[in-house]
């Protein structure tokens, strides 16, 4: 039987993985095609954090690395659901890596979804094998 904390953890991991993969890829495709970052609602430039100063090509490569790292979160979610300790460890590592990209791309959802994951992993730590 899975605890409510574990269910919430897996849901958060999957939501973050979906946003950080399927949500970022169209932005990167737009940037590659149009040689500029898209604007959201005509006001906010997507992914326009400190990484933007590195140049568009470097930003696109960094974005692809972020998507690749984020895709591993699906594996972490699967392992977490099966109560595997390596899922918890992998997710903690991926959260650390992702935090660099959250800052570099000025992604607001990162800490909002990441901090609860760390707390939920700590609460469920004893149930992992």
Contact (Cβ atoms closer than 8 angstroms) between residue 7 and residue 15: no
pLDDT, tens digit, 9 for 90 and up, residues 90-100: 999 999 999 99
Residue 1's pLDDT is what? 76
pTM > 0.85? yes
- Listed by start position, the domains of the chain span 4-127
Go through 42-68 and write b for each residue having 16 or more CB atoms within 10 A of its CB, e for each that does not.
eeeebbbeebbeeeeeebbebbeebbe
Contact (Cβ atoms closer than 8 angstroms) between residue 16 and residue 113: yes
Other C-beta atoms closer than 10 Å to the C-beta of 95 total 22
pLDDT, tens digit, 9 for 90 and up, residues 23-69: 999 999 999 999 999 999 989 999 999 999 999 999 999 999 999 99
pLDDT, tens digit, 9 for 90 and up, residues 63-88: 999 999 999 999 999 999 999 999 99
């Amino acid at each position: 039987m899975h605890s409510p904390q574990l269910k919430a953890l897996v849901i958060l991991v999957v939501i973050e993985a979906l946003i950080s993969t399927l949500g970022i890829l169209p932005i990167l495709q737009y940037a590659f095609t149009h040689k500029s970052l898209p604007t959201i609602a005509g006001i906010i430039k997507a992914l326009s954090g400190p990484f933007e100063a590195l140049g568009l090509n470097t930003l696109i490569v960094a974005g692809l690395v972020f998507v690749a790292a984020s895709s591993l979160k699906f594996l972490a979610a699967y392992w977490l659901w099966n109560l595997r300790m390596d899922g918890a460890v992998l997710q903690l590592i991926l959260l650390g890596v992702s935090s660099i990209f959250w800052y570099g791309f000025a992604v607001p959802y990162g800490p909002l979804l990441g901090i609860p994951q760390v707390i939920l992993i700590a609460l469920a730590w004893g149930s992992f094998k």
